Amino acid sequence: MEKDIVFKDAQRPAYDFKFNKEVATVFDDMVVRSVPYYEEMQRMIAELTKDFAVKGSNVYDLGCSTGTTMINLDKILDKEIHFVGIDNSDEMLLKCESNLAEAGVKRRVSYENQDLNCDIELKNPSVVIFCLTLQFLRPLNREKILRKVCESLPENGAVILIEKILTEHSICNRLFIEHYYQFKKRNGYNETEIAKKRESLENVLVPYQLSENETLLRSCGFRFTEVFFKWYNFTGLIAIK
C-alpha cells in the first residue's frame, strides 16, 4: 500500500480534488488515515449487506473506488449474488479490478464507468451501497438517484449509506471538525496536508446534516432509516424500502 503524500507539497497550487491516477494509487492509505473507524465501517457494511442481499440478485457498490467493499462482501456473501461496481474514474476502476483479482474474487463482477450525477440503470438490485459517495454528488442530483434506487429495489431492499455530515448546531460543528483534524494529525498528516486537502474538497464534497439525509431518504420512498454508525462528523445509515 503506497503512502498518501498527495498534499505534502506546500508549494503546489490549489486545485479541486479529483479521483485521478495519483489519488487512486494511494487511495487505500488515504481513506484509512482520513476516515475514522473505516475498517469497522467496512465490516458493518458487509454484515448489513448479508442481512438483506438476496440470492440471484445484484449488490451495487456506487462509487466503488478501489474495491475494498466488494472484497469484504465476497468473503461472506453467497456466490450466486453478483456485484456491480460503478465509478466515474477509469483509474479507480482499474485499481478496483486489480485489487479484486489480487484478492482472489471469483464471482461475477461488472465494472462500469458511469457518472452518478446522470441517469443510471440498476438491474435486479437487492442492496445498494453508497460508501462516502453521495456527498460528492451535486445536491440537486441526490434526490434523483436515491429515488431511482428506491424504485429499482424490491420490497425490503436496502440502501447502506456512509457520509461525512454537518451537525445540527454550529458550536458542535466547529468542535467536531477540530477533533477530526486531530484524528488526521494522529495518523501522520501535517497542518499543510490537512489545510490543502480541505481547500481542495471545498467545492467538491458537500455534506448534509444527518436529519437532511434521513428526510431525503424517506422522501424518496424508503419506509424507514436507522443510524448504525456515528463518530463526530461521520455517520452510517441504512434505509429499507
pLDDT of residue 1: 85
C-alpha cell at 124: 435486479
Strand partners, 161: 130, 237
Burial of 112 (0-12, 13-18, 19+ CB in 10 A): middle
- Mean pLDDT, the chain, whole residue set: 97
Q: How confident is the model at residue 180 (pLDDT cuts 50, 70, 90)?
A: very high
The amino acid at residue 145 is I
Give residue 197's region: left, alpha or beta (phi > 0; psi -120 to 50).
alpha
**How do strand 234-240 and strand 158-166 relate by DSSP bridges?**
antiparallel
Over the stretch 20-47, which tens digit does the pLDDT of each residue have? Answer: 999 999 999 999 999 999 999 999 999 9
Strand partners, 164: 234
Q: How confident is the model at residue 14 (pLDDT cuts 50, 70, 90)?
A: confident
Domains with residue ranges and CATH for the chain: 1-241 (3.40.50.150)
Over the stretch 127-137, which tens digit does the pLDDT of each residue have? Answer: 999 999 999 99
The answer to whether residues 125 and 58 touch, using CB atoms and an 8 Å cutoff, is yes
pTM: 0.97
